[in-house]
Structure formats: structure tokens, C-alpha cells
Amino acid sequence: METEIAEILSVLFNKKISPKDNISSKDEPDWDSFKHIEIIMVLEENLGIKFNRDEIPTLNSFKKIVKKIKQIKGL
């Protein structure tokens, strides 16, 4: 799961991202509000999930995204 999410983020940010990096909106200058929406949309499409719109603003790091996706998928 973590590797798949890291690969998706690598494509979106056009650089290699590892699960160990714990990329976040605070550390990544390209992670602005537009990129955040793109991340959410691509994750939903590729992983077949749907985030609650109220939780989307809180998904601002790799670890938070992984935790929420695992929760949604019941893992």
C-alpha cells in the first residue's frame, strides 16, 4: 500500500518519493492547494476509494494519507 501511494506521489511531484520520506505539504513547496486536490483525486481514482470531504484538508502528509486509506479499506 505504502509503495503504491509513494509511486503515485512520485508521478505527481515528478521526483522519486519513498514511503520513508513522509512527504508533507509543509516540506514540499509544490504541494499547494491545487496540488492537494490533484493528489486526492488521483488517489481516489487509482485506489477506488472516496475520501470524506471534511477530512480532505487534514490529509497533508504521506503518513496521514496512508493511515486514512488503510482505515477506508479496513486494513
What is the CATH number for 29?
A: 1.10.1200.10
- Give pLDDT tens digits for 17-26: 998 988 999 9
Distance CA 66, CA 63 (A): 5
Number of domains in the chain: 1
Q: Could you tell me if 62 and 22 are in contact, meaning their C-beta atoms sit under 8 angstroms apart?
A: yes
| Domain of 23, in residue numbers | 2-73
- What is the mean predicted confidence (pLDDT) over 12-32? 94
Q: Could you tell me if 34 and 72 are in contact, meaning their C-beta atoms sit under 8 angstroms apart?
A: no
Q: Name the one residue in this structure whose C-alpha cell is 515528478.
A: 14
Quote the pLDDT of residue 71.
96
Quote the pLDDT of residue 22.
87
Distance CA 65, CA 26 (A): 14
pTM over 0.85: yes
